Amino acid sequence: MSATVITNIATLVTNDPSLRDTDPLGLVRDAAVVIEGDRVVWTGESSKAPATDNRVDAGGRAVLPGFVDSHSHLVFAGDRTEEFNARMSGRPYSAGGIRTTVAATRAADDAELEANLTRYLAEALRQGTTTSETKSGYGLTVEDEARALRLAARHTDEVTYLGAHIVAPEFADDPAGYVALVTGDMLNACAPHARWIDVFCEKGAFDGDQARAILTAGKAKGLHPRIHANQLSYGPGVQLAVELDAASADHCTHLTDADVDALANSSTVATLLPGAEFSTRAAWPDARRLLDAGATVALSTDCNPGSSFTSSVPFCVALAVRDMGMTPDEAVWAATAGGAAALRRTDVGRLVPGAYADLVLLDAPSHVHLAYRPGVPLVTGVWRRGVREV
Ligand code: NIG
Ligand code: FE
């Protein structure tokens, strides 16, 4: 198999886990990366790089692992421009807007849904995302949820069943009946297409007892839990995530000290989604508090047409640094290795021998520029599974 060396890298972010305590980004200056097939086979100083058939000159720029966006909702139709406009005129965000997208998604045919999905995945890839998790949650019938997951599974391994996004409109007077469907026929139809199960644990969506029942049923079917927790208000979501050993508690905007402690003493990642606070004009999650307590933090987009219509991880990194108390190093780690931890993956989010050759080349000398130069399209090269895509 022929190998390629990317050389003349001014700053290489490896996220080498063996250096986590002293140098979390595992930085190498004047570095090179060697790729063989879909894997990284060597990283180190340029001068020590082994000879290879092909050579790519990084031109004194920065290379980092492809972003791992561990939270998005990309199977949908329509948009919610009017709702956004109204919000920017002062109306508050409400989970009720999800119903607008449910109606549009149900009305769309498979080709339209898949075209939307591939469009947003391609948009994300151009901005450096090489691993994308995505969810159902805009179908809310057995057929529409299974269809969303079947389409998603054609494009990513990280597929999440979110039948419990809100109570389906048909069950407005019978939420218990909807929970029975989500944990029964809908779960049976969806489980074969998904790796994860998620629930929106929030006032106006599902309470703690309902969320526990839904996630426990999913676990019994072989799905692993993750939770939309504590987004709009304080609540039981984070504690439930830890209790069930969820891979991630997502949003974490309203946390008590006990919630922070629980996360810090667990293997549940706190995934922060600043695009949602940006687009709903809500208070930012406190990344500093979580990091200082010892929790593992990930950053993701939450790309969806209602609360966060951005596919840009660099944008989220910039917000997290500016407004959530993260250093640029912490934010870059959270958007790469943190996202991988939130998906319980060790083959992405790091550039070490054996990991997938998922790399981003920035038109900048270091990863810090992702926050230092907000809004600038710095991603100038993307390799996914060893293939240059951008
Ligand atoms: O993660 N919180 C629930 N779900 C989405 C919002 C979905 C929507 O508004 O359409 C979120 O923010
Ligand atoms: Fe979400």
pLDDT tens, residue by residue, 376-388: 999 999 999 999 9
Q: Is the CB of 280 under 6 A from ligand 1?
A: no
User: Side chain identity at 361, as an amino acid letter?
Assistant: L
pLDDT tens, residue by residue, 163-178: 999 999 999 999 999 9
* Spacing, Cα 76 to ligand 2 middle (Å): 13
pLDDT tens, residue by residue, 275-306: 999 999 999 999 999 999 999 999 999 999 99
Q: Is the CB of 183 under 6 A from ligand 1?
A: no
> What pLDDT, on the 0 to 100 scale, is given for residue 222?
98
The CB-side HSE value for 323 (13 A sphere, CA atoms) comes to 18
Asked if 62 and 364 touch (Cβ cutoff 8 Å), the reply is yes
Is it the case that residue 184 has pLDDT exceeding 90? yes
Q: Kindly report the protein residue whose alpha carbon is nearest to atom 3 of ligand 1.
A: 200
Domains of the chain: 3-66+350-388 (2.30.40.10), 67-342 (3.20.20.140)
> What pLDDT, on the 0 to 100 scale, is given for residue 131?
99
Q: How far apart are CA 254 and CA 232, in angstroms?
A: 7
> What pLDDT, on the 0 to 100 scale, is given for residue 146?
98
Is it the case that residue 5 has pLDDT exceeding 90? yes
DSSP tag of 206: B
pTM: 0.98
Q: What pLDDT band is residue 334 in, cutting at 50, 70 and 90?
A: very high
User: Side chain identity at 6, as an amino acid letter?
Assistant: I
* Spacing, Cα 18 to ligand 2 middle (Å): 32
pLDDT tens, residue by residue, 224-233: 999 999 999 9
> What pLDDT, on the 0 to 100 scale, is given for residue 233?
97
Q: How far apart are CA 338 and CA 149, in angstroms?
A: 24
Please give the average per-residue pLDDT across 119-142, as a whole number: 98
> What pLDDT, on the 0 to 100 scale, is given for residue 96?
86
- Mutate which of 69, 72, 73, 87 for ligand 1? The one with the most ligand atoms within 8 Å of its CB, which is 73
Is it the case that residue 371 has pLDDT exceeding 90? yes
Q: Kindly report the protein residue whose alpha carbon is nearest to atom 1 of ligand 1.
A: 302
| Torsion angle defined by CA atoms of residues 382, 198, 287 and 309, in that order, rounded to the nearest 10 degrees | 60
Q: Which among 317, 315, 269 is positioned nearest to 295, based on CA atoms?
A: 269
Q: What pLDDT band is residue 369 in, cutting at 50, 70 and 90?
A: very high
Q: Is the CB of 231 under 6 A from ligand 1?
A: yes
Q: Is 251 annotated as a binding residue?
A: no
Mean pLDDT score of the chain, rounded to an integer? Answer: 98
Asked if the interface predicted TM-score (ipTM) of this complex is over 0.85, the answer is yes
Is it the case that residue 1 has pLDDT exceeding 90? no
> What pLDDT, on the 0 to 100 scale, is given for residue 341?
98
Q: Is the CB of 330 under 6 A from ligand 1?
A: no
> What pLDDT, on the 0 to 100 scale, is given for residue 138?
98
Q: Is 307 annotated as a binding residue?
A: yes
Q: Is 116 annotated as a binding residue?
A: no
Q: Is 224 annotated as a binding residue?
A: no
> What pLDDT, on the 0 to 100 scale, is given for residue 279?
97
Q: Is 73 annotated as a binding residue?
A: yes
Q: What pLDDT band is residue 106 in, cutting at 50, 70 and 90?
A: very high
Helix (H, G, I), strand (E, B) or coil at 253: coil
